């Protein structure tokens, strides 16, 4: 990220541009946030390999839809994802998708069975997972999107 650039910019139309990657699965999106180099695109590629669909890489548009927060890619980045050491790859874009979950890769989860966490986006509470550096993390995210979490 360039110096002086914020993690998000709020536009006058209520659209927020986030320095984040997002992937859809089961009609719901996960927003992956973190500083440059934390693995946003890597996690997205893992999710895509397991059946997810790219919404946006590196920059995600966020806005309040009729019933939920929505995410999509800016036009110039639609259908593109960076793979370090490989290049910019093409992907079929998911298009606008309701946001269901945020993953914060800047913080690592230390608890085996963590308490539920939430974050606020555009004044709405969204479930939050902290990063997990284990091979089950990507499949667990997809399982959570598909079937939820035990209370």
Active-site entry in 66, 76, 110, 116: 116
Model pTM score: 0.90
- Catalytic, 58? Answer yes
Range of the domain at 51: 12-144
Say how many domains are in the chain.
Answer: 1
- Write b or e for each residue in 43-57: b if 16 or more Cβ atoms lie within 10 A of its Cβ, otherwise e: bbbbbbeeebbbbbb
- The CATH number for 38's domain is 3.40.50.300
Answer whether residue 7 is part of any domain.
no
Q: What are the pLDDT tens digits along the chain (151 aa)? A: 333 334 556 555 689 999 999 999 999 999 999 999 999 999 999 999 999 999 999 999 999 999 999 999 999 999 999 999 999 999 999 999 999 999 999 999 999 999 999 999 999 999 999 999 999 999 999 999 999 998 7
Answer whether residue 86 is part of any domain.
yes
- Catalytic, 104? Answer no
Active-site entry in 19, 57, 72, 104: 19
Answer whether residue 3 is part of any domain.
no
Answer whether residue 150 is part of any domain.
no
């Amino acid at each position: 990220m360039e110096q002086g650039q914020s993690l998000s910019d709020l536009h006058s139309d209520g659209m927020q541009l986030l320095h984040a990657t997002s992937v859809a699965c089961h009609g719901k999106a996960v927003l992956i946030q973190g500083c440059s180099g934390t693995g946003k695109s890597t996690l997205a590629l893992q999710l895509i390999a397991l059946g997810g669909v790219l919404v946006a890489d590196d920059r995600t548009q966020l806005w309040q839809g009729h019933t939920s927060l929505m995410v999509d890619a800016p036009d110039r980045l639609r259908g593109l994802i960076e793979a370090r050491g490989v290049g910019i790859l093409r992907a079929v874009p998911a298009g606008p998708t309701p946001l269901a979950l945020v993953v914060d890769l800047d913080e690592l989860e230390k608890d085996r069975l963590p308490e539920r966490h939430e974050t606020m986006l555009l004044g709405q509470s969204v479930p939050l997972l902290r990063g997990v550096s284990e091979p089950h993390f990507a499949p667990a995210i997809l399982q959570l999107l598909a079937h939820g979490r035990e209370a």
